[in-house]
Amino acid sequence: MAKKRPQTKGKQPQLTDGQVPVVGAREPCPCGSGRRYKACHGRAAAHAVTELVHRPFEGLPGEGDWVALRELVPAATVELPLKGGLPDGVPSVSLATVLPMAWPALRRDDGSVLLGLQNDTASGDISRDLADTLQRALTAEPGSPVQARRAPADGPRLQDVLDADGAFEPIVHAGFEFWVPDSENASTEVSASLERANAAAIPTVKLSGVDSAYWCETPEKNHLRWVMPHPEEQLLDALARLHAAGTSSLGEGTRLVGSFRAHGLTVPVWDLPSGMGAEDIEKPAAEFAERLAAALAVDAPLTPEERRARGGLTNRQVTLS
Q: What is the pLDDT of residues 52-91, one digit of tens each?
A: 899 999 999 999 999 999 999 999 999 999 999 999 999 9
> What per-residue confidence (pLDDT) applies to 11?
45
Using the predicted structure, report yes or no on whether residue 236 has a pLDDT greater than 80. yes
Band of the pLDDT at 46, cuts 50, 70, 90?
low
123-165: per-residue pLDDT in tens? 899 999 999 999 999 999 999 999 998 899 899 999 999 999 9
For the ranges 12-16, 109-113, 123-127, 262-266, which has the lowest average pLDDT? 12-16
For the ranges 21-25, 125-129, 193-197, which has the lowest average pLDDT? 21-25
How would you list the strands of the sheet with 204-206, edge to edge? Answer: 204-206, 213-217, 222-226, 265-272, 255-262, 317-319
Asked if 65 and 73 count as a contact pair (C-beta separation under 8 A), the reply is no
Which of 3-7, 23-27, 42-46 is most confident?
23-27
Asked if 113 and 92 count as a contact pair (C-beta separation under 8 A), the reply is yes
Band of the pLDDT at 192, cuts 50, 70, 90?
confident
Using the predicted structure, report yes or no on whether residue 228 has a pLDDT greater than 90. yes
Task: Select the more confidently predicted residue: 106 or 41.
Answer: 106
Task: Select the more confidently predicted residue: 1 or 250.
Answer: 250
> What per-residue confidence (pLDDT) applies to 164?
94
What count of Cα atoms within 13 Å lies in the side-chain half-sphere of residue 220? Answer: 2
> What per-residue confidence (pLDDT) applies to 42?
65
> What per-residue confidence (pLDDT) applies to 13?
46
Q: What is the pTM of this model?
A: 0.83
DSSP 189-201: HHHHHHHHHHHHP
Using the predicted structure, report yes or no on whether residue 183 has a pLDDT greater than 70. no
- CA gap 39, 26 in Å, rounded: 9
Four-residue CA torsion sign, 256, 204, 211, 233: positive
> What per-residue confidence (pLDDT) applies to 105?
97
| Distances in whole angstroms, Cα of residue 239 to Cα of each of 95, 209, 263, 306, 315 | 32, 20, 20, 9, 14
